[in-house]
Amino acid sequence: MSRYEALGAVPVVISISDVPQALQRGTVDGIWSTQESVRSSKLFDSGIKYGFEDRQAFLQYVPMISRKAWDSYPPDLQDLIQTTWNDLVSEARKNALGLQEEARQSNADNGIETVDPDPEALAETRAKLMATQPALIEELGISKEFAELVEAELAKIMN
pLDDT tens, position by position, 92-110:
888 888 999 999 999 999 9
Question: What would the pLDDT profile of 121-136 be if each residue is shown by its tens digit?
Answer: 888 988 888 899 899 8
pLDDT category of residue 84 using cuts at 50, 70 and 90: very high
pTM for the structure as a whole: 0.71
**Residue 34 in contact with residue 103, Cβ under 8 Å?**
yes
In DSSP notation, 57-106 reads ----------HHHHHHS-HHHHHHHHHHHHHHHHHHHHHHHHHHHHHHHH
Strands 50-52 and 113-115: parallel
Contact 109, 45 (CB under 8 A): no
Of all residues in the chain, what percent carry a pLDDT higher than 90?
52
Residue 124's CB is within 10 A of a number of other CB atoms, namely 12
CA atoms of 101 and 105, how far apart (whole Å): 6
User: What single-letter DSSP state applies at residue 10?
Assistant: -
Note the pLDDT of residue 63.
Answer: 80
More reliable by pLDDT, 146 or 56: 146
Q: Is the Cβ–Cβ distance between 40 and 107 less than 8 Å?
A: no
Q: Is the pLDDT of residue 120 over 70?
A: yes
- 6-28 b/e (C-beta count within 10 Å ≥ 16 → b): eeeeeeeeeeeeebbebbeeeeb
* Predicted local confidence at residue 92, as pLDDT: 85
Could you read off the pLDDT of 8-60 as tens digits, one per residue?
Answer: 888 888 998 999 999 999 999 889 889 999 999 999 999 999 998 877 766 66
Residues facing residue 114 across a β-bridge? 51
